[in-house]
Amino acid sequence: MILARGLTKRYGHKTAVDRADFSVASGHVTGFLGPNGAGKSTTMRMILGLDRPTAGDVTVNGKHYRDLGAPLREVGALLEARAAQGGRTARNHLRCLARSNGIPDRRADEVLRLVGLEAVAGQQVRNFSLGMSQRLGIAGALLGDPPILMFDEPVNGLDPEGILWIRTLIRQLAAEGRTVFVSSHLMAEMALTADHLVVIGRGRILADTDMRDFIDTNATSHVLVRSPRLTDLVPLLSARGWRVDPEGRDAVRVHGTPPDAIGDLAADHGIRLHELAPVRPSLEEAFMRLTGDTVEYHAGTPGQPPIPPDVAAGGAA
């Protein structure tokens, strides 16, 4: 269990994390979701005692990280994939980590096997690709077989096979009853990995909720309707008070009603439908709706000048 209360970090005038309250429970994957610069890594560094909070507090299993006797046995973390010393071999890097926490040497080879690096155990870490470094970082997190695991953007730099591998691993670790806290700004990946969400924007916790509830609360489902007679159908739909948005040339999105009511209405008027599909909202839609005005670094639309940050932030920055 990770528990943050009023957790705050300021760098000069910049408030990176702002009075954050949240908890991460065991037995499921908690996703830590937020745009670039939202404060995810800063929060994780404070959990690991690498950054001291300006105010507030965060504990792991009721203790501050710095008070843990053998921290790797209690909390495993992947923050910076490139944190290993380049001159060491993968095996030596892990053995050094293990010894500092009273973990036997043989565990290094066990975790190397677990992450698929046994063939390169004797190679210098400086020659590792980003994906290999990421796997080595995960091996380090698993060294002490800890009940709490934290991964900051673990799929960065991984190929599709690697992404599937880490997603499966993360879910398995949670299924074993561990506390798993994983950050990402990749919505589709998060939707497949996490059961619970802590959402952060501009340092503030915007939601701490079940994934399903989060999507249902922050986005609405709709029905995709394709028909060769849209011009006849749309006025009938609108007359019922259902919101209709165009979707390409021959389809519309209908909000506020289930598909059966639309199908019945069309049949009553002899209008053929070529598609009638309920569409569940994605995590991305829910996230964009919730965090739209908390994104700090907006890109410009291609072909148009970029939006200045103060304008993008509604003049509030």
CB 141 within 8 A of CB 94: no
**Residue 252 neighbours by CB distance under 10 Å:** 22
For residue 249, what are the contacts with CB-CB under 8 A and spacing of at least 6?
A: none
Instruction: Give min distance, CB of 3 to ligand ATP, in A.
Output: 19
| Sign of the C-alpha dihedral computed for residues 146, 149, 155 and 161 taken in this order | positive
Report the residue number, 39 or 71, with the smaller CB distance to ligand ATP. Answer: 39
Binding mask 164-203 for ligand ATP (x = CB under 6 A): ---------------------x------------------
Instruction: Give min distance, CB of 202 to ligand ATP, in A.
Output: 8
Long-range own/partner contacts, residues 105-108 (CB < 8 A, 24 or more apart):
107/143, 108/143
Question: Which of 65, 53, 57 lies closest to 16, judged by CA?
Answer: 53
Q: Which of the choices Mg ion, ligand ATP, none does residue 39 contact, using the CB cut-off of 5 to 8 A by kind?
A: ligand ATP
In the three-class reduction of DSSP (H, G, I as helix; E, B as strand; rest coil), residue 81 is classed as helix
CB 33 within 8 A of CB 85: no
Q: In this chain, which of 7, 18, 40, 230 binds ligand ATP, going by CB under 6 A? A: 40
Q: Should residue 184 be labelled a site residue for Mg ion when binding is judged by CB under 5 A?
A: no
Give me the half-sphere count of Cα atoms (radius 13 Å) on the Cβ side of residue 220. Answer: 11
Range in contact with Mg ion (rule: CB under 5 A) among 32-40, 57-65, 99-107, 128-136: 32-40
Q: Should residue 41 be labelled a site residue for Mg ion when binding is judged by CB under 5 A?
A: yes
DSSP 179: E
Q: Should residue 37 be labelled a site residue for ligand ATP when binding is judged by CB under 6 A?
A: yes
Report the residue number, 163 or 254, with the smaller CB distance to ligand ATP. Answer: 163
**Residue 269 neighbours by CB distance under 10 Å:** 11
Contacts of ligand ATP in 50-89 (CB under 6 A): none
Q: Should residue 11 be labelled a site residue for ligand ATP when binding is judged by CB under 6 A?
A: yes
Q: Which of the choices Mg ion, ligand ATP, none does residue 16 contact, using the CB cut-off of 5 to 8 A by kind?
A: ligand ATP
Range in contact with ligand ATP (rule: CB under 6 A) among 10-18, 128-136, 239-247, 256-264: 10-18
Tell me which residues touch ligand ATP (CB under 6 A): 11, 14, 16, 34, 36-42, 185
